[in-house]
Amino acid sequence: MKTQNPKSVSIVDVARAARVGVGTVSRVINNQPNVSPATTQSVREAISLLNYRPLPSGSRRGPRLGGKHHRRGARSADVTLIVLAEYGLDWILQCAPVFASVLHGMQSKTAELGCGLKISQAADWEQLQAAMQQSPGGCLVLGEEPAGPPPKGIRPGQMVWVMGSVRRFGGDHVQPDHFNLGQLAGQYVLGRGHRHCAYLGAPVSPDYHVSFRGAAFQLCIASAGGSVEMLVDSGLVVSDRRSHAANEPVIARLLDRMLAVRPRVTALMLQADILAPVVYSLLRERGVRPGQDVEILTCNNEPAYLSHLAPRPVVLDLRAESIGKRAVEQIHWRMKHPDEPAMRIMVEPGLLEAEAAPVIPAVPPARS
């Protein structure tokens, strides 16, 4: 078997090949404990097969920000990624593919800058603080905020939050521009001639930034004289320690409500790709052809959920890898400017238009 070019292989690729989490690969590479011999062997076999070449700690060199090269012997400070998740890093990478893309962006940017990326995990503020104390360089924090206020020892000038819905943390935050994403979706469907639309997602809440997508979509359509049926429910997705899946009964109820609306809905925006496979299946059960009788738009750009759908929906791309890269750039800047005001950096989304999408269906969908 032909091995890959090591420059194109990331730690995420190794984790997928070994069927383990990125954190496990990081522990094997750094000879850390708590990894079984069998798992260690699987990871090393994946590293060999993919020809992955992690640069050894202390010897990484590369360009600085702005394109200037290191002086002889100089190197950028290593970065620690602290993953905040109730179920851990492995769960995030297996159940939320968009985060794997963010991590891939971080890994490629740190390699470009000639610094290392150490991965740690935390479940609450105290564990986060402990991980920061063990990390002399800057820290990136990926995930949702824990409950309660952060302890006084958390230093915003040492860290940058990535993704999530930050409410209590007072430092820099790098995230998708959810509001712009909703407006982009609205402008697209209006340009296609749709005036009666629907949105399937979580209820709009200032504590959940992803919900801004729906708010912006509704505002954009309403401003042009159209209407949006808000199909919202906080239980659209169910999670446990082993899974993360769309809630089919809840989605079925909301789609039945959409199909009863008059004038009928001709464009449906989904909050996230994880909903798309179930929506396609349920619409077809009801005699409605996705992409023909109702145009589908979805958000995130996670191929794991979209690759088998036909016709492909219109995709609002978060540009997840760009988010990861921008976060690394920001932590390097922040470490040099710890006293500058906190910044909220929102990465602009893109739109991937479906091939040969219809304009507006001329025939009302049949009901079974």
| Domain range summary for the chain, segments of one domain joined by + | 1-54, 178-317
Note the pLDDT of residue 6.
45
AA letter at 215: A
Is domain 178-317 classified as CATH 3.20.20.10? no
- DSSP three-state, residue 286: coil
Determine the Cα angle at 348 with ends 359 and 94, to 5°.
90
For the chain, strand residue ranges (E) read 79-84, 117-122, 138-143, 159-162, 172-176, 196-201, 227-232, 237-239, 244-246, 267-270, 295-300, 314-317, 344-347, 350-352
Instruction: Give yes or no for a contact between 120 and 49, defined as CB atoms under 8 angstroms apart.
Output: no
The two domains 1-54 and 178-317 share their CATH topology (first three levels equal):
no
Strands 79-84 vs 117-122: parallel, antiparallel or unpaired = parallel
Q: Residue 298 — φ and ψ, nearest 5°?
A: -140, 165
- Given the structure tokens 């200037």, which residue do they identify? 68
β-partners of residue 352 are: 315
CA distance 59 to 175: 31
Instruction: Give yes or no for a contact between 258 and 265, defined as CB atoms under 8 angstroms apart.
Output: yes
Note the pLDDT of residue 269.
98
CA distance 153 to 19: 37
Residue positions counted in the chain: 368
- Given the structure tokens 């935050």, which residue do they identify? 173
Is domain 1-54 classified as CATH 1.10.260.40? yes
- In 319-332, which positions are buried (b, 16+ CB within 10 angstroms) versus exposed (e)? bbbbbbbbbbebbb
Rg (CA), the chain: 22
pTM: predicted TM-score of the whole model, two decimal places: 0.77
User: What share of residues in the chain are helix, strand, coil (percent, to 5)?
Assistant: 40, 20, 40
Tens of pLDDT along the chain (368 residues) come to 444 444 467 777 787 788 776 667 777 877 766 677 888 888 888 888 888 876 544 443 333 333 343 443 445 678 999 988 777 777 777 788 899 899 999 999 999 988 889 988 888 889 888 888 888 778 999 988 888 888 887 877 889 999 999 888 889 999 999 999 999 999 999 999 999 999 999 999 988 999 999 999 999 999 999 999 999 999 999 988 777 899 999 999 999 999 999 999 999 999 999 999 999 999 999 999 999 999 999 999 999 999 999 999 999 999 999 999 999 999 999 989 988 999 999 999 999 987 544 444 433 344 43
Note the pLDDT of residue 231.
98
User: CA nearest 59: which of 47, 70, 75, 72?
Assistant: 75
Note the pLDDT of residue 10.
74
DSSP string covering 65-123: TTSPBPPTT--PPPEEEEEE-SS-HHHHHHH-HHHHHHHHHHHHHHHHHT--EEEEEES
Strands 314-317 vs 350-352: parallel, antiparallel or unpaired = antiparallel
- DSSP three-state, residue 251: helix
